[in-house]
Amino acid sequence: MRDLSRRYGPLMLLRLCELHVVVASSADAAREIMKNQDLSFASRPMNPTGKFLLGDSPGLVAAPYGKAWRQLRKICTLELFTSRRVRSFRPVREEEVGRLLRSLSAQSSVG
């Protein structure tokens, strides 16, 4: 990418098979994109892997930008991701990490 950036400049459009990808290889180019073209890049297209993992309900992570996404983000910010709420989930996170580590340990002993 560094060599491509030196040859073609800090902003490139690459075609990776069927996928067109905009690459900003400098902080200034990225800042300019996020400042002036934010809405154009706000939605993330769902690829086949995402569809398989998330099904028909992409939720907050891959939902298209719009009124529903903004409302969901507002709810998450004001209700779900407050520091008090995040602290309240600590025992659950610790239990899940323990399960993961036990599972990995069991799998590693099997071979």
Contact between residue 65 and residue 39 where contact means Cβ atoms under 8 Å apart: yes
pLDDT tens readout for residues 15-58: 988 888 889 999 998 888 888 887 777 776 777 877 787 777 76
Give me the pLDDT at residue 58, please.
67
Q: What is the greatest pairwise CA distance in the chain?
A: 54
Domain residue limits, the chain: 1-42
Say how far apart CA 78 and CA 84 lie, in whole Å: 11
Q: In 3-state terms, what secondary structure has residue 19?
A: strand
Strand partners, 12: 23
- To the question of pTM greater than 0.85 for the whole model, the response is no
